[in-house]
């Protein structure tokens, strides 16, 4: 399992783009994300 912290994600588009990029590499990847509260 890998954990990646990506600071600065504050809108719904950021995790969506990251999810699509990761799933292009690994379609079975389980991705969870939390947005920063500003």
Per-residue pLDDT reduced to its tens digit, 2-36: 888 888 888 889 899 999 999 999 999 999 888 88
Integer Cα distance of 23 and 15 in angstroms? 12
Contact of 10 with 36, CB cutoff 8 Å: yes
H helical segments located in the chain: 13-25
Of residues 24, 23, 37, 32, the one with CA closest to residue 4? 32
pLDDT of residue 23: 95
pLDDT of residue 1: 78
Contact of 36 with 30, CB cutoff 8 Å: no
pTM of the model: 0.68
How wide is the angle at C-alpha 31 spanned by C-alphas 28 and 37, nearest 5°? 170
């Amino acid at each position: 399992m890998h954990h990646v912290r990506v600071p600065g994600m504050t809108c719904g588009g950021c995790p969506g783009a990251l999810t699509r990029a990761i799933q292009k590499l690994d379609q079975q990847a389980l991705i969870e994300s939390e947005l920063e509260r500003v």
